[in-house]
Chains A and B, each alone.
Chain A
């Protein structure tokens, strides 16, 4: 091996930077989806690497379900400020209040309702491209996604009719109303992300590290107990997501492996309290990352169906 050689992280990084710059050059109004989760934290570092010393030439966008871990929101806002980036937040709550979408009877998770909220934000700001931190190793339908994933004017993904993607020549051309989702981390795995966090000394929200938390058992997972219901007389936003009397309670030492919101994130019992520990834990893990996501368990094709409808 000569000295002109890239190791796996350097290789993944240079490809991702190339994708970021293609986005900046080819689209008029791109945005980066930033939730404060580990994958989007890596995206922002890649944006810095692609565009510094200039400003990151696109705003950050987050769609809140209203059930977020408070730690995540605080982290998200602080990180955006540090980077001098514009942060746009749109909420499922607002979409519901304006009557643009309705929850199904008994629907507690806001996961599906993020779709109209995201499409609404795309329309409001006329975004032609959203850069996301999704990875192909997360899930079977994601494994089929292109780096540049074309969406029609309804925001839909057509998996049978994807544009061929050859070499590093990305076809970014769109007609009015059409949209692109771009995934620079497509080829990264969960371990790659954590190794990159370690290499770049990136700060991540504390809930990734082990901590004590009140949890309850549902659907074979430990779910966090939602915050107490504050607004008296208001409907409880967590109705249905609170433990029923029959469900087992416990105070556990846990952490999150992947973050959705409080309703759909299973906590894993773990003593990993450093990035090194996390990497060791994943290397030895016997379930996949999304095995702790309640939103993917509903059926074999859960993700495929949501993606076709315009999900991230």
Chain B
């Protein structure tokens, strides 16, 4: 048996979204099946359920619809994650639900995707759900979008129909600030243009869906400008037997932006204290530099007070610092968002109390137009709000940095997660009191 050499491959995270019967689960089933990522017992289980409920027809959707209620109702309730690999890449797939009441799960599935696949039924064209999903993908700033025009077999592989649907999207895409959008005509049911190129679309010169997923460039999806380390955990060994560890005080966390180098100047916010990096400690030994999204432990030259929730930053591309926040939110709970209500707000590694001071507007996802004077935001609504926090946040605009520009709101009492928030850029950057805080 040949031993596969360990060749480092990267991971592409994508999610699939579309309306109820657009065939998302079938598409993922098809990707797994045709790229030979399905195992015999999975195929066996498929055949077993086909005999019982499907009248003998294998239903690829049964691969991802894992919960009993989903199989009974033939719909996807919650995000299902799937994993597959080709020689070029590993893939993490979030199959996100189409039902409007599960839009919050689409946000869950898509928030850290590199790419979103939006499915449309070629017979139906763009419907409200297609607009909503594209809108959420744009709101979450998913770098790449693939529009899979599915069920092309049911419209006789008509190029005209494909162009019609593309035009329907092109009508509103310019308003959504999506940089990379690909349209692919396919049939999840027959497999055409999913993994193998179709002979039925001679008029289409683009890649298959898998070909696109394998080749789309994701190298620049992380932010490498402006060092940010949200302090997650203070590492202080208790009664160490090694005398060298008596004074060990490390600040552990996952780098949320930029690059840090041993010896460089850093500032701790919100205190504004300045020090230098003595060592970048890792379990595998010290490293000269580290970058986003590595998890590291920083040792500083000076003995300064740092705790969880603080942010250690570098001297360039300074973040904002404020108790007054302006954000877009996606509301995810039956109890609506109301002005004047208090929530817990979790941002990077700190949780603070926050009050909603203003609901500025609510976005109409059919027209993408903001509707001012919304009295509240209901489940699945998207809108702009203003918040005031009990402690200042150290943050960036979400467009600049997904990790330092995002937050969640947690309802007090039930502790339900009720909103995903994306911050607008700070009106001004932190002003270091010490003029020597520069490179």
A14 near B254 with CB under 8 A, answer yes
Nearest Cβ on chain B to A258's Cβ, whole angstroms = 13
A262 vs B58: C-alpha distance when bound (angstroms): 34
Complex interface: stretch among B34-42, B170-178, B357-365, B389-397: B34-42
Tell me which residues from 277 to 303 in chain A have a Cβ below 8 Å from any Cβ of chain B.
277, 279-281, 283-288, 291, 300-301
Nearest Cβ on chain B to A135's Cβ, whole angstroms = 9
Tell me which residues from 1 to 45 in chain A have a Cβ below 8 Å from any Cβ of chain B.
1-2, 4-15, 17-18, 21-22, 24-25
Complex interface: stretch among B142-150, B195-203, B414-422: B414-422
Instruction: Please tell me which one of the listed residues A11, A25, A144, A159 contacts residue B233 in the complex, with CB atoms under 8 A apart.
Output: A25
Contacts of B417 in A (CB 8 A): 163-166, 171
The answer to whether the Cβ of A54 comes within 8 Å of any Cβ in the partner chain is yes
Can you add 19 more A-B contacts, CB < 8 Å, to A279-B4, A300-B45? A1-B10, A8-B11, A11-B11, A21-B253, A50-B233, A51-B235, A53-B242, A140-B63, A143-B80, A166-B108, A168-B112, A169-B346, A169-B407, A171-B410, A189-B85, A189-B90, A199-B6, A287-B39, A301-B68
Contacts of A253 in B (CB 8 A): none
**Lowest 8 CB-CB distances: which A-B pairs, in order?**
A7-B8, A140-B66, A291-B41, A173-B415, A17-B295, A49-B283, A18-B254, A166-B111
A167 near B235 with CB under 8 A, answer no
Contacts of A284 in B (CB 8 A): 1
Instruction: Please tell me which one of the listed residues A50, A55, A291 contacts residue B39 in the complex, with CB atoms under 8 A apart.
Output: A291
The answer to whether the Cβ of B264 comes within 8 Å of any Cβ in the partner chain is no
A284 vs B39: C-alpha distance when bound (angstroms): 10
B232 near A279 with CB under 8 A, answer no
The answer to whether the Cβ of B439 comes within 8 Å of any Cβ in the partner chain is no
Provided the pairs A55-B238, A280-B3, A283-B4 are in contact, do residues A21 and B232 lie with their beta carbons within 8 angstroms?
yes
The answer to whether the Cβ of B130 comes within 8 Å of any Cβ in the partner chain is no
Contacts of A283 in B (CB 8 A): 4
Contacts of A191 in B (CB 8 A): 85
B112 near A280 with CB under 8 A, answer no
A151 vs B420: C-alpha distance when bound (angstroms): 22
B residues with CB within 8 A of A: 1-4, 6, 8-11, 39-42, 45, 49, 63-69, 71, 77-83, 85, 90, 92, 104-105, 107-108, 111-112, 219, 222, 224, 232-233, 235-238, 240, 242, 245, 248, 252-254, 259, 282-284, 291-295, 308, 332, 344, 346-347, 349, 351, 402-403, 406-408, 410, 415-417, 420
A53 near B67 with CB under 8 A, answer no
The answer to whether the Cβ of A137 comes within 8 Å of any Cβ in the partner chain is yes
Scoring A residues 108 to 149 as 1 if CB is less than 8 Å from chain B, else 0, what string do you get? 000000000000000000000000000011011101100000
Instruction: Please tell me which one of the listed residues B10, B66, B403 contacts residue A144 in the complex, with CB atoms under 8 A apart.
Output: B66
Instruction: Please tell me which one of the listed residues B2, B236, B294, B402 contacts residue A6 in the complex, with CB atoms under 8 A apart.
Output: B294
Contacts of B346 in A (CB 8 A): 169, 171
Contacts of A2 in B (CB 8 A): 219
B41 near A167 with CB under 8 A, answer no
> Taking CB as reference atom, which chain A residue is nearest B77?
A160
Offer 17 A-B interface pairs, CB within 8 angstroms, sorted by A.
A6-B10, A14-B254, A53-B237, A53-B242, A54-B238, A136-B81, A136-B83, A137-B82, A140-B67, A141-B67, A144-B80, A164-B408, A167-B112, A169-B346, A169-B408, A284-B1, A300-B68
A279 vs B112: C-alpha distance when bound (angstroms): 29
A304 vs B80: C-alpha distance when bound (angstroms): 13
Nearest Cβ on chain A to B108's Cβ, whole angstroms = 4
Nearest Cβ on chain A to B40's Cβ, whole angstroms = 5
A5 near B219 with CB under 8 A, answer yes
Contacts of B42 in A (CB 8 A): 288
A173 near B233 with CB under 8 A, answer no
Instruction: Please tell me which one of the listed residues A13, A139, A144, A189 contacts residue B83 in the complex, with CB atoms under 8 A apart.
Output: A189
B3 near A171 with CB under 8 A, answer no
> Taking CB as reference atom, which chain A residue is nearest B284?
A49
Contacts of A140 in B (CB 8 A): 63-67, 80
Provided the pairs A53-B237, A53-B248 are in contact, do residues A21 and B295 lie with their beta carbons within 8 angstroms?
yes
A143 near B112 with CB under 8 A, answer no
In the complex, which of the residues B10, B83, B111, B284 has the most CB atoms of chain A within 10 Å of its own CB atom?
B83
Contacts of B63 in A (CB 8 A): 140
